[in-house]
């Protein structure tokens, strides 16, 4: 299976492998068994439930919301995913939001067996093995062993070298979109655009360039941003 390379908001490159269709189906089957066992256990203990509200809050709701609750509480895993070593993440590598968890869960009505397991067919035809719920929520299910091995190239990220000292603390005030514009402008190798952007960045951050060129100044700004972004991890 091909690896998917993503770059997080902190410009850390992560190489990860999407879970295969078989692995996802195995995890889902385990979760269904867990849910069925939970319901069966309470059916056996049924006489202890004295009213419909108890049945709703103790049996029906925990079973119905099993997947999103587990994923929200564990950072993207149900019992099935934990056993198969899978995790739900956003496409950019970050943890999904509450809305993302709920959206992918609600679309299980379409993806699941109720409509002929459409999700399985979509996963087979999808490069990253995403079902419709994942595509709508912007999530991926990846192999945990791959996700946990973050590979950072020190050649690309020399702010990680020992003893690196940022020159412009103001760089931490930039947004990811602004840094992305700087990086893309540097890639153009157009001196006029680089000079214009250098002047705008100096004005925006209220700093004076100390580097010998506008290009080196902008590259220092990007590195300093990355340095402060990593401090927050």
Pairing of strands 13-16, 4-7: antiparallel
Tell me what pLDDT residue 50 has: 62
What span, in angstroms and rounded, lies between the C-alpha atoms of 195 and 187? Answer: 13
Tell me what pLDDT residue 160 has: 52
Tell me what pLDDT residue 3 has: 53
Tell me what pLDDT residue 116 has: 66
Tell me what pLDDT residue 231 has: 62
Tell me what pLDDT residue 10 has: 45
Report the largest interatomic distance among the alpha carbons of the chain, rounded to a whole angstrom. Answer: 81
Q: Can you list the residues of the chain whose pLDDT is less than 50?
A: 1, 5-14, 146-159, 233
Tell me what pLDDT residue 177 has: 79
Cβ–Cβ under 8 Å, residues 18 and 129: yes
From residue 128, alpha-carbon distances to 38, 55, 91, 143, 196 in Å are 32, 39, 10, 12, 40
Q: Where are the beta strands (DSSP E) in the chain?
A: 4-7, 13-16, 86-90, 139-143
pTM of the model: 0.59
Which residue ranges make up each domain of the chain?
A: 4-147, 161-231
Tell me what pLDDT residue 189 has: 83
Tell me what pLDDT residue 199 has: 94
The DSSP letter of residue 95 is P
């Amino acid at each position: 299976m091909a690896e998917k390379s993503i770059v997080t908001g902190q410009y850390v490159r992560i190489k990860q492998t999407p879970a295969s269709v078989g692995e996802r189906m195995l995890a889902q089957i385990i979760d269904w068994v867990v849910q069925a066992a939970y319901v069966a256990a309470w059916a056996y203990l049924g006489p202890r439930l004295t009213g419909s509200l108890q049945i709703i809050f103790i049996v029906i709701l925990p079973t119905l919301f099993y997947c999103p609750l587990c994923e929200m509480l564990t950072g993207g895993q149900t019992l099935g995913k934990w056993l198969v070593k899978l995790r739900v993440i956003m496409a950019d590598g970050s943890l999904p939001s509450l809305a993302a968890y709920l959206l992918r869960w609600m679309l299980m009505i379409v993806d699941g067996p109720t409509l002929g397991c459409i999700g399985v067919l979509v996963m087979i035809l999808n490069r990253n093995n995403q079902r419709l719920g994942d595509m709508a929520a912007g999530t991926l299910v990846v192999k945990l062993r791959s996700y946990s091995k973050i590979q950072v190239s020190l050649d690309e990220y020399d702010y990680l070298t020992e003893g690196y000292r940022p020159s412009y603390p103001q760089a931490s005030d930039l947004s990811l979109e602004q840094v992305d514009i700087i990086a893309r402008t540097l890639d153009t190798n157009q001196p006029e655009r680089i000079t214009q952007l250098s002047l705008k960045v100096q004005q925006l951050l209220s700093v004076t360039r100390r580097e010998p060129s506008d290009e080196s100044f902008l590259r220092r700004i990007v590195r300093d941003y990355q340095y402060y972004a990593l401090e927050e991890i």
